[in-house]
């Protein structure tokens, strides 16, 4: 079963208001975590928040904070950044482009507040589904990084092929090829067996085998089992706070 669309690593969390300095720390920390993974992830980041759109490198945390503060003043707390992987040799990771979109605190009545998205574009001439294979080959490392950095309710590796297998469930955690679920959005003991199933930072990692021969088929079967298990709970509109069951469990 082929997979050809862009692959996304997404973190979601309920309304959590933080100062712009804390937001910039998370963004910068995310970039540092990604760079440690090597390959094309070491490429420098630029802002997509400037108008007219032009290359605006962000070489330091101070530059990032200034960019985010200006963007927030102009249009609210939604930030977008990109990586020019053309600066790297093809050997670093051919046919793959990386971008990120970060939407930090937005509290909507009845809606979920925050998300951070890392997207790897599937190459048009990439019949081997290299983007997804690369994500799965990381063996949950990037999912763990997003848990550590963003203190989320859920993190998942997904693409439209898998998402299209299931009706949208607004306000509920999505299930991907690999998923991390906070303790307040899953009853872990009710989750089914899976090739990846372990505790991490108080929550649960669950996913398909990194070397799956049919990732879409295996992920579809696992997601169906998870949805039918009754283990999932609604995402909180406001995330549990430090001192209860919230961020102290993740960002210690």
Q: What is the pLDDT along the chain (252 residues), one digit of tens a residue?
A: 444 568 889 999 887 878 889 889 999 999 999 999 887 788 889 998 887 777 789 999 999 999 999 988 887 778 888 887 666 665 544 345 556 666 655 656 556 678 888 888 765 555 556 778 878 888 799 999 999 999 999 999 998 899 999 877 888 999 999 999 999 999 999 999 999 999 999 999 999 999 999 999 999 999 999 999 999 999 988 888 654 434 554 444
Instruction: State the pLDDT at residue 74.
Output: 83
Instruction: State the pLDDT at residue 86.
Output: 67
How far is residue 239's CA from residue 113's CA, in Å, rounded to a whole number? 9
Instruction: State the pLDDT at residue 150.
Output: 93
How far is residue 207's CA from residue 203's CA, in Å, rounded to a whole number? 14
The pTM of the full predicted model, rounded to 2 decimals, is 0.88
Residue 90 buriedness (CB in 10 A; 0-12 / 13-18 / 19+): exposed
Count each helix (H run) and each strand (E run) in the chain, helices first: 6, 9
CB 6, CB 60: distance < 8 Å: no
């Amino acid at each position: 079963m082929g997979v050809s669309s862009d692959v996304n690593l997404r973190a979601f969390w309920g309304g959590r208001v933080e100062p712009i300095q804390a937001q910039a720390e998370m963004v910068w920390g995310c970039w540092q975590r990604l760079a440690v993974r090597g390959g094309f992830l070491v490429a420098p980041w630029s802002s997509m928040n400037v108008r007219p759109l032009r290359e605006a490198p962000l070489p330091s945390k101070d530059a990032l904070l200034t960019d985010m503060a200006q963007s927030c003043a102009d249009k609210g707390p939604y930030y977008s950044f990109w990586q020019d992987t053309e600066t790297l040799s093809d050997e670093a990771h051919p046919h793959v482009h990386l971008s990120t979109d970060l939407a930090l605190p937005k509290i909507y009545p009845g809606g979920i507040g925050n998300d951070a998205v890392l997207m790897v574009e599937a190459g048009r001439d990439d019949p081997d589904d290299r983007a997804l294979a690369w994500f799965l080959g990381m063996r949950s490392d990037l999912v763990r990084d997003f848990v550590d950095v963003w203190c989320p309710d859920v993190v998942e590796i997904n693409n439209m092929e898998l998402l299209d297998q299931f009706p949208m469930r607004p306000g509920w955690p999505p299930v991907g090829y690999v998923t991390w679920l906070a303790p307040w959005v899953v009853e872990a003991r009710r989750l089914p067996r899976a090739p990846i199933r372990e505790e991490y930072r108080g929550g649960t990692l669950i996913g398909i085998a990194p070397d799956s021969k049919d990732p879409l088929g295996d992920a579809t079967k696992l997601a169906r089992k998870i949805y039918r298990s009754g283990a999932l709970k609604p995402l909180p509109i406001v995330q549990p706070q430090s001192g209860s069951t919230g961020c102290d469990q993740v960002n210690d």
